[in-house]
Structure formats: C-alpha cells, structure tokens
A and B are shown apart, each in its own frame.
Chain A
Amino acid sequence: MIAVIDYGVGNLFSLSSSLSFLGLENRVTSSEADVRAASRVILPGVGAFGDAMEKLSATGLVPVLKDEAGKGKPLLGICLGMQLLFEKSYEYGEHAGLGLLPGEVCPLEPDLAAAGFSYKVPHIGWNALHLEQPDCPLLANTKEGDHVYFVHSFYAKGCCGALAASAEYGVTVPGVVASGSVYGCQFHPEKSGAAGLDILRAFAAL
C-alpha cells in the first residue's frame, strides 16, 4: 500500500486517482499506523512552504517520515512536498525543512533576472526533462526530453549529487531529485500524462 500523506495542503483527488488508475493500492491518510504499514510513502503539497511545514508538523508525522525514510522506505515528495525534503526554504522568511536532502529552496524570480531572462514566474506549463542520472530508478521508464507539467515559483538549489533530472527555464530547475530511498519531483507526475504515470509506476516498482 502507498500512503499519500494528507495534511490539509492541496487536493489529493488526482494523485490518488492516478495511483488507482495504475492499479496501485493507496490510502490518503494522516495516521502514523498507515505510514508505518505502507510499503511506500508520497508527500504531496501545494501552497506556501512555511504554512505547509507547520501543518505537517501538526500531524505529528515529521519524526515518523524521517524515521521511515532512514530505514530505507521509499519516500516521494511532489511539488511543494519535494521542497519540504530539503534543509530550508526562503519562501516568505526562512523556514527549516525535513532535511532529508541537501540544498535549499529559493525564489526563481531574482535568479532569472540575474541570468538576464524575463521568463514568467510561476514556471507553469510543460517542460522537457534532461536526465542527469539516467540510471536513477525513479527514471526507469523516463526518456530524455519527456515533457512533464510544472507549476512553481520556488526551486531547489545546491542539491548537487541528488539532482537526477532537470528542466531548462533560464536557470537549471531540478525536476527529479534522489538520494537513497528519498525521491522528489518538482513537477506533478499525476498531471503529466503518460510520462507522469511512468514515473509513478517506477516509484511503485522500487
């Protein structure tokens, strides 16, 4: 069973539907017992980092997620859920994250401006993935140039060796990050058509 963490941030209908569509047993839950019993865990999320981290802490699941990830249970963060995996974020202040991946979450806008690009923020739409680590197990079914659907205004920096796939948007946007059993997608695999379903399928096969 895949536990989809419900901490009151965003709409989990599509994510749960996409897993069910693939024939993957899943449960939208905020219960520690479910997270412990699950074979895999997905941490979704949309909205602001600080608010989301507060709500996640309120469920009491932060130490459980860290513990289970430490034991090697596959964990996949999606969009804001991916950003929460990092050490900290500078979204409206400075907030500590789960610290499961090295790096920090920064606003796109000043970096785009510094690089001389006037691209729109949020980075919204379909963008191509460049495979930095084609052997990453989460990318087992993914091909160079596959398009996935992004919606975000902040992005991870300094993830170094954890960078598994990136998208070009004036700056290098980490699309997929991976370290041990901890994985993250900045884009929405549940909204990325066949390419997105391929990634969820790979996660279920880890």
Chain B
Amino acid sequence: MVTKRIIPCLDIRDGRVVKGVNFRGVQDVEDPVMLARRYNDAGADELVFYDITASVEGRSLFTDVLRDVARSIFIPLTVGGAIRSLADFDRVLKAGADKVSVNSGAIQNPALIAEAAKRYGDQCVVLSMDVARVDGAYHLFTKGGREDTGIDAMEWAARGEAAGAGEIVLNSIDTDGVKRGFDLEMLAALARRVSVPIIASGGAGKMEDFKALFALPGVDAGLAASIFHFGEVDIAELKRYLAENGVPMRLPRSHND
C-alpha cells in the first residue's frame, strides 16, 4: 500500500527560504540546502520549492539552489512558482526537479497543462490552486491568493485533471496561516470531483491536524511550511505519531540498521 506523504514546502526568494503568513509579512528563515537536508534526514517524503522571486537574478539563484539540492538529496522534488511556459518546465527539470507545479500560469494559459503533460508525462505536472469561499461557492484565486478569478475551483480542478495534471495541490486561503487544521470540507469537495492524488495545504498547526487530514478518504499528502521551519512540528515525530495512529507511513530506518 502506498504511504501517505508529508511534504515540507520551502518558499524561496533570492536564494533564501521565506514564509509568508496569510501571504503577507515575509520572514527570512534559513539556507535552503541545509533545510532540505534536515528535512530529508527527518524523513520528509518529498520537498516542494516555491519560487517567489520577482527578479531575473533571483530566478537564476533559484535554479542554482535547486541544482545544489538535487545533487545531495535523493527524494522527489517539486518546483512551483513563476511557471508560465514549457521553457520554464524545461529550466527547472534540467536543474533536478521531478515534478512541476503550475498555478497562475495555467490560468493565464489554459493550454499549458495539456502541453506539459504531453511532453513530460502526467506524473510531472501538478496543478496547484489557491481557493477561498466566496458567497458559499469555492472560487479560484490568482496572484498569490490576492485576486478572485470568479472561476469555480472544483470545475477548474476537473478540467486540470482532464488536461493531464497528475496531482492537485489544494491550498485553502480560508485556513492558510490560521493553524487550526486543514480545510477538510473543501478537501472533501475536491476528492469527490477528481481521482488523481490530492495534496492538502493550508492550516496545519499541530500533529493532530494531520491525523484528521488522513482520516479523509482521497487525500494522499499533507503539505506545510512554517510549522516545520520553526520546529513547531517535528517531521520524524509527526510520522511516528501518524504510524502509531494507523496511518500508513514510510518511517526512517533506525541508525542501528
């Protein structure tokens, strides 16, 4: 049986790890390569690198960071942020990414998912979406969660899956940064709509939140950033806790092996 995945997300700007709370108020955390190694050693199942750089110099720093990580960490690496074209896919895949996550890029160019899936395979294309409730409906947001597109988010996910997205990251703007748990209601709505793996993002504050998450059928992975960066939740401890609670987990081998 495939295990549930725990995925730390590293937001990178100008070669450094940052994390915005509710997408605002950015704090500098740590060296991305060091942090990636620490997470790998703790048993992270995958790493996500999100490029929030605005400048060209920053973009090339990001690619350098990715290459450095891929030379010493041998677990799946997903890259997102600023992916707008096949050339962007190519740039990060050559630097060691295994999967590429598309968000606003797919809103601007709806053909991007299909084109990328055709060239690199479904397994390589991840649809990432920022979603919030608006008047009782789930709306797709763009520009880092600041702008309501008015698009029905569940419809958007179904279209993304049909176009070839191999996984979907659902980031709930309503729970992001609040640390009171994942948006189970929104995730359940997505799980009813798509059959590709779902990665939950936004709202994790403690270990119990992950236990509640994985009790939800159809959710394959939990993604978080600041709670891992600031040591509020330790990945090794979290995975042991989840395994003890019956969640299928890949546990690190003991050092005696």
Interface residues of A (CB under 8 A from B): 11, 13-14, 17-18, 20-21, 46-47, 119-120, 122-128, 143, 146-147, 149-151, 168-169, 190-197
Contacts and interface: CB of A to CB of B under 8 A. Distances in A.
B96 A120 contact: no
Contact of A17 (B75, B96, B250): B96
B94 interface: yes
B197 interface: yes
Given A125-B5, A125-B220, A169-B1, A14 B197 contact: no
B166 interface: yes
Contact of B2 (A21, A123, A192): A123
B121 A46 contact: yes
24 contacts: A13-B96, A14-B70, A17-B74, A21-B71, A46-B121, A120-B195, A120-B220, A123-B2, A124-B167, A124-B197, A125-B5, A125-B220, A126-B3, A128-B3, A143-B257, A147-B3, A149-B75, A168-B1, A191-B75, A191-B76, A193-B40, A193-B74, A194-B253, A195-B253
Contacts, number: 83
B21 to A, nearest CB: 30
Contacts of B123: 46, 122, 124, 151
Interface residues of B, number: 30
B45 interface: yes
B207 to A, nearest CB: 20
Chain B interface, >50% SS class? loop
A147 B250 CA distance: 6
Interface in B69-88: 70-72, 74-76
The 5 closest A-B pairs by CB, nearest first: A147-B250, A125-B2, A126-B250, A126-B3, A151-B123
Contacts of B196: 120
Contacts of A18: 74
Contacts of B234: none
A123 B95 CA distance: 25
B209 interface: no
Contacts of A191: 74-76, 98
Interface string B89-113: 0000111101000000000000000
B25 to A, nearest CB: 34
A32 B257 CA distance: 40
Nearest to A195: B253
A102 B45 CA distance: 33
B15 to A, nearest CB: 20
B95 A13 contact: yes
B166 A124 contact: yes
Contacts of A119: 2
A192 B73 CA distance: 10
A11 B74 contact: no
A110 to B, nearest CB: 16
B70 A149 contact: no
Contact of A14 (B74, B121, B195, B252): B74
B129 to A, nearest CB: 19
Interface in B54-78: 70-72, 74-76
A46 B121 CA distance: 8
A150 B3 CA distance: 11
B2 A126 contact: yes
Contacts of A193: 40, 74-75
B122 interface: yes
Contacts of B253: 143, 146, 194-195
